[in-house]
Amino acid sequence: MKIKSISTKIFKSKLTTPFKTALRRVDNLEDIIVSIQCEDGSVGYGEGAPTPVITGETIGTMNEAISYLTPMIVGLSLVEDFDEIIKIIHSRLLHNTTAKSALEIALYDLKSQSYNKPLFEYLGGTQTKFETDITISLNEPDIMIKDCLIAISAGYNIVKIKLGENKQKDIDRVLAIYDALPRNVKLRLDANQGWSKDDSVEIMQTIEKHGIIAECIEQPIKSDDINGLLYIKERIMTPLLADEAVFSFNDAKRILELGAADCLNIKLAKCGGISNAIKIADLAIEYNVNCMIGCMLEGPIGIAAALHFASAKSNIISMIDLDAVALLKFQPLKTDIEFNGKNILLSKEAGIGISGEL
pLDDT tens per residue across span 36-89: 999 999 999 999 999 999 999 999 999 999 999 999 999 999 999 999 999 999
> For residue range 20-29, what is the model confidence (pLDDT) as tens digits?
998 889 988 8
The pLDDT of residue 224 is 96
Q: Are strands 43-48 and 25-38 parallel, antiparallel or unpaired?
A: antiparallel
The number of CA neighbours under 13 Å toward the Cβ of 224 is: 1
Q: What is the pTM of this model?
A: 0.96
Amino acid making up residue 174:
V
Question: Is residue 326 classed exposed, middle or buried when 0-12, 13-18 and 19+ CB atoms within 10 A define those classes?
Answer: buried
Amino acid making up residue 256:
L
> What HEC string does 241-283 produce?
EECCCCCCHHHHHHHHHHCCCCEEEECHHHHCCHHHHHHHHHH
Q: Which of 198, 229, 227 is nearest to 216 (CA)?
A: 229
Residue 277 has pLDDT above 80, yes or no: yes
**Contacts with 268 (C-beta within 8 Å, 6 or more apart), sequence order:** 101, 104, 105, 274, 277, 295, 302, 305, 306, 309
Residue 289: how many CB atoms within 10 A of its CB? 19
Q: Please compute the mean of the pLDDT values over residues 140-169 and round it to a whole number.
A: 96
- Is the C-alpha dihedral spanning 275, 311, 9, 12 positive or negative? negative
At residue 334 the predicted structure's pLDDT band, cuts being 50, 70 and 90, is confident
Residue 84: how many CB atoms within 10 A of its CB? 12
- Active site positions, annotated: 162, 267
In the chain, where does the domain assigned CATH 3.20.20.120 lie?
121-345
Question: Is residue 260 classed exposed, middle or buried when 0-12, 13-18 and 19+ CB atoms within 10 A define those classes?
Answer: buried
Q: What is the DSSP string of 313-346?
A: -TTTTT-B---GGGGBS---S-BSSEEETTEEE-
- Decide: 189 and 216 in contact? Cβ < 8 Å: yes
Q: Please compute the mean of the pLDDT values over residues 133-139 and round it to a whole number.
A: 96
Q: Please compute the mean of the pLDDT values over residues 130-150 and round it to a whole number.
A: 96
Residue 331 has pLDDT above 90, yes or no: no
Chain CA centroid to CA 68, Å: 25
The pLDDT of residue 1 is 86
The pLDDT of residue 356 is 60
In the chain, where does the domain assigned CATH 3.30.390.10 lie?
3-116
> For residue range 287-328, what is the model confidence (pLDDT) as tens digits?
999 999 999 999 999 999 999 999 999 999 889 999 999 998
Greatest CA separation found in the chain? 63
Distance CA(242)–CA(240), nearest Å, equals 7
- Classify domain 3-116 at the CATH topology level: Enolase-like; domain 1 (3.30.390)
Q: C-alpha distances in angstroms, 13 versus 10, 16, 271, 272, 354? A: 10, 9, 25, 24, 17
Superfamily for domain range 121-345: Enolase-like C-terminal domain (3.20.20.120)
Mean model confidence pLDDT for the chain: 95
The pLDDT of residue 358 is 62
Residue 357 has pLDDT above 70, yes or no: no
At residue 354 the predicted structure's pLDDT band, cuts being 50, 70 and 90, is confident
Residue 221 has pLDDT above 80, yes or no: yes
Beta bridge partners of 12: 30
Residue 107 has pLDDT above 80, yes or no: yes
Residue 130 has pLDDT above 90, yes or no: yes
The pLDDT of residue 304 is 95
The pLDDT of residue 18 is 87
